[in-house]
Amino acid sequence: MSDPIEKSITEILNELGEEPERDGLSRTPARVAAAMRFFTKGYQQDPAETLNNALFDVDYDEMVVVKDIDFYSLCEHHMVPFFGRAHVGYIPDGKVVGLSKIPRLVEMFARRLQVQERFTMQVAGIIEEVLKPKGVAVVVEAKHLCMVMRGVEKQNSSAITSSMRGVFNSDSKTRSEFMELIRQRSDSFV
């Protein structure tokens, strides 16, 4: 066994009092290693490069919102999942980004060991840095299994974080419009 993650998982199983070679566990170290590499693949991706490859000059200065972006991440404190939805808005200043790049960006930062607060700021920060819009708003709603399965064990608890930059921070009307748009839930397209 040359994979260091597999070796570590085997050691953890031994420390838990399990038999890593028994039926049902014999391939677990390899499965966990592959899963951990998938869960953290965001470290190998460059978010700025993703955005830069899809910038377009457009004369549009109204709000652009991509909401209800599902994500899964791992809490850096316990390495257990947290998951939820991200809502991203920005007001262009001469450039827009391809709409599919925003969920890709959320996915990149989610696929790292994270805390929700940093995750929220990273998404807003890279959009602000690359697009240089008039403002960026990011709201993240998530359930943390470290609060649900262990610790306080509160099954209905969730966390909401936000990062408001530019006009979303300085103009309460702009911020309110964004918040109203992401609150609208619908079973139809619009």
Is this prediction's pTM over 0.75? yes
List 11, 19, 44, 77, catalytic entry: 77
Domain coordinates of the chain in residue numbers?
4-39, 49-183
List 45, 78, 141, 177, catalytic entry: 78
Predicted confidence at residue 104, as pLDDT, reads 97
Q: Tell me the backbone φ, ψ of residue 188, rounded to 5 degrees.
A: -100, 180
Catalytic: 62?
no
List the CATH code of the domain at 49-183: 3.30.1130.10
Predicted confidence at residue 4, as pLDDT, reads 97
- Locate tokens 């109203």: which residue? 180
| Per-residue confidence in pLDDT tens, the chain, 190 aa | 689 999 999 999 999 999 999 999 999 999 999 999 999 999 999 999 989 889 999 999 999 999 999 999 999 999 999 999 999 999 999 999 999 999 999 999 999 999 999 999 999 999 999 999 999 999 999 999 998 888 888 888 899 999 999 999 999 999 999 999 999 876 655 5
Catalytic: 75?
yes
Predicted confidence at residue 153, as pLDDT, reads 83
Catalytic: 87?
no
Q: Tell me the backbone φ, ψ of residue 124, rounded to 5 degrees.
A: -65, -40
List 75, 87, 114, 122, catalytic entry: 75
Predicted confidence at residue 150, as pLDDT, reads 85
Predicted confidence at residue 186, as pLDDT, reads 62
Predicted confidence at residue 171, as pLDDT, reads 98
Predicted confidence at residue 127, as pLDDT, reads 98
Catalytic: 144?
yes
List 11, 19, 76, 117, catalytic entry: 76
B/e letters for 103-116, b = 16+ CB within 10 Å, e = fewer, are: bebbbbbbbbebbb
List 116, 122, 153, 177, catalytic entry: 116
The whole-angstrom separation of Cα 159 and Cα 75 is: 13
Catalytic: 146?
yes
